[in-house]
Structure 1
């Protein structure tokens, strides 16, 4: 009778590559709860630090906090999705919530007005950083709403430094 041993898992050396801004690509699923914006800001803070993007902390954390607070308020599901990407000198933050686009035009306009008003601070941050923001119907499976912002690093760094 032969005794068989389970194979050992292969040993992989730790990746010695230091994270850089260009390798920043993270996604989080967060519960639709009041604590989620704080969790999202804490995770974003650590991600930006790990990727040597300290100079973007202030506007990025403000943007993430605003977008996740609105998603937690609007979503009809038990969770929502946050994506952080850095490409071509720009931090991209995208949040998906499950709130569908209304089919009745007046209701859709009222809902858009409510969401836009809730994102006033984000609009100010983006304007100060020469960034962009918006929201619309999600192209992802399951529908819902996609909110996003783009923050160019050079201008976001000036914002964080308190430059006018």
Structure 2
């Protein structure tokens, strides 16, 4: 399956006018359908482990299916490792975990901007693909997709993402 070269979502623009006071927070019980979290972490050697441990709590609280737990945690770890490889020390990476229907999506933003020069861009993309080999295999094994592309403003750098599909959802109904 070829990889996609565009980000799966764009950041939402901030509305020009906001309600004051703001609406109350969502106080309903967590569920897999309401799973959406973002982490901003430093590019450091322990960051992937911290992201994975935080994701474990998030997935458990939201009752994500047991079949997705281990692959999702591995995906968070691998995408965070990848983002740190392309982000300098002292800079920040962002990791977003969300549920979209039957798919669990993990997105990581690094600060390494896409190259304008064609040869540099091709070499850098090849390096990224090599860094994402485990992500690609994991995503494809779980009927998902993966890809990377320039981040949408206001983010800078590159957005890398992968999805895992709920194995029960991919089975035909008898």
Q: TM-score, normalised by structure 1?
A: 0.82
> Does the 8 Å CA contact 2:79/2:160 hold for their aligned counterparts?
yes
Alignment CA distance shift 1:122-1:142 (3 Å): closer
Q: Residues 155 and 146 (structure 1 numbering): CA distance in 2 closer, same or farther, change over 3 Å? A: farther
User: Which residue number in structure 1 is paired with residue 78 of structure 2?
Assistant: 66
**Residue 40 of structure 1 contacts residue 64 of structure 1 at CA under 8 Å; is this kept in 2?**
yes
Q: How many residues align?
A: 145
Q: Which protein is bigger by CA-based radius of gyration? A: 1
Query: C-alpha root-mean-square deviation of aligned residues, in Å?
Result: 2.2
Q: Extract unaligned runs of 5+ from structure 1.
A: 1-11, 159-164
TM-score, normalising length from structure 2? Answer: 0.77
Tell me, yes or no, if structure 1 residue 57 matches structure 2 residue 69. Answer: yes
* Richer in helix (by share): 1
Aligned to 1:94: 107
Determine the structure 1 residue equivalent to 2:148: 135
Structure 1 42/139 Cα, relative in aligned 2: closer, same or farther at 3 Å? same
Question: 1:41 is matched with which residue?
Answer: 52
Q: In the alignment, is the contact (CA less than 8 A) between 2:102 and 2:169 conserved in 1?
A: no
Conserved? CA contact 2:35–2:99, under 8 Å: yes
Contact 1:98/1:144, CA 8 A, preserved across alignment: yes
The equivalent of 1:31 in structure 2 is 42
